[in-house]
Amino acid sequence: MQSDYWDRPAFETVRPRRLTAPLVFNSPHSGRDYPERFLAMTRLDHLSIRQSEDAWIDELFARAPHMGTPLLRAHFPRAYLDVNREPWELDPQMFVEPLSDRFNTDSPRVAAGLGTIARVVAENKPIYRNRLTLDDARMRIEGVYQPYHATLQRLLTEAYSAFDVAVLIDCHSMPRLGRSGDRIGPDIVLGDRYGTTCAPALIDLAETVFTSAGLRVTRNRPYAGGFATRAYGRPQHGMHALQIEISRHLYMNEVTLEKHEGFDVMRRLVDQLVASLISLDLGRLATPATPAEKYDERYAAE
């Protein structure tokens, strides 16, 4: 099956002129290039299908390359393919053919309709009119997912080779979390898989930057970090990963997805975060006696 992105890039690496720090920024869910074939398959209108986007997150972090660190950003939308899942985390109800045991069909994410190829978008709205074929899944996963992760691994390896340490900042947005009694939901959620995927200095610094701006910050609840945070965060080997979730209400209208006056404010704050991370003595996080743990080659081989 021909790729839906045969005539244009599915994702993009924005590189700095000179690498100044071992940081890699990743925006896997901000893609907004919807293939015509995919739109013809969905029962949703053009605004509803976009409800699962981390809209404009790539633009909030767009200055990172100008400051000396690469930014990997998806052009393909999350509703089309989610690279923050395992590579073959699929819902058997979505496909014409039966799925063999080699597929992960019973994860909590699949049960929620949010596997590698999602069944629903926000508010549990079904995406597709009809069931898909496995050829379609292979086209997306082998043609986009695997090259995306190979690129991310390459960026982290380059950072590690230059600095003996590498830090992945996985950049996301979240819907505004509701009130519970007298409690107001957080503006920012920082995820390090409960202290297992990055050094404390990294998450402490990020929390300080956001709280100093008057924002409410929580750690790991309700988002502890997805597949990328878990797969790449190996602090004992000098490979760190931190997930950042920014509440969308801070910078855009959550219904229309249009930016509002808060966007420039949040972009300046993100610039401050990037500068603070670059200024941190990341060299002390290095573990040069232990080789970097490589990305699991199973994901590229499957």
Sequence spans of domains, the chain: 11-301
**157-188 burial string, b = 16+ CB within 10 Å, else e?**
bbbbeebbbbbbbbbbbbeebeeeeeeebbbb
HSE value, Cβ hemisphere, 13 Å, CA-based, for 181: 1
Where do we find the tokens 């080779």?
A: 161
Q: How many residues would you count in the chain?
A: 302
Per-residue pLDDT at 162 = 96
Per-residue pLDDT at 246 = 98
Number of Cβ atoms within 10 Å of the Cβ of 43: 12
pLDDT at position 167 over 60 = yes
Q: Pairing mode, if any, of strands 71-74 and 11-14?
A: antiparallel
Mean pLDDT (the chain) is 93
79-to-30, 53, 275 alpha-carbon distances in Å:
11, 8, 32
Query: Which pLDDT band holds residue 295 (cuts at 50, 70, 90)?
Result: very low
Q: Pairing mode, if any, of strands 23-27 and 71-74?
A: parallel
pLDDT in tens, 34-72: 999 999 999 999 999 999 999 999 999 999 999 999 999
d(CA 217, CA 233): 21
pLDDT in tens, 181-213: 557 899 999 999 999 999 999 999 999 999 999
Query: Which pLDDT band holds residue 296 (cuts at 50, 70, 90)?
Result: very low
| pTM of the predicted structure, to 2 decimals | 0.93
The CATH homologous superfamily for domain 11-301 is: Zn-dependent exopeptidases (3.40.630.40)
Query: Which pLDDT band holds residue 300 (cuts at 50, 70, 90)?
Result: very low
Percentage of the residues of the chain whose pLDDT score is greater than 90 = 90
Per-residue pLDDT at 212 = 98
Contact indicator for 42, 127 with CB cutoff of 8 Å: yes
Per-residue pLDDT at 292 = 39
pLDDT in tens, 105-136: 999 999 999 999 999 998 899 999 999 999 99
Number of Cβ atoms within 10 Å of the Cβ of 231: 22
Per-residue pLDDT at 180 = 56
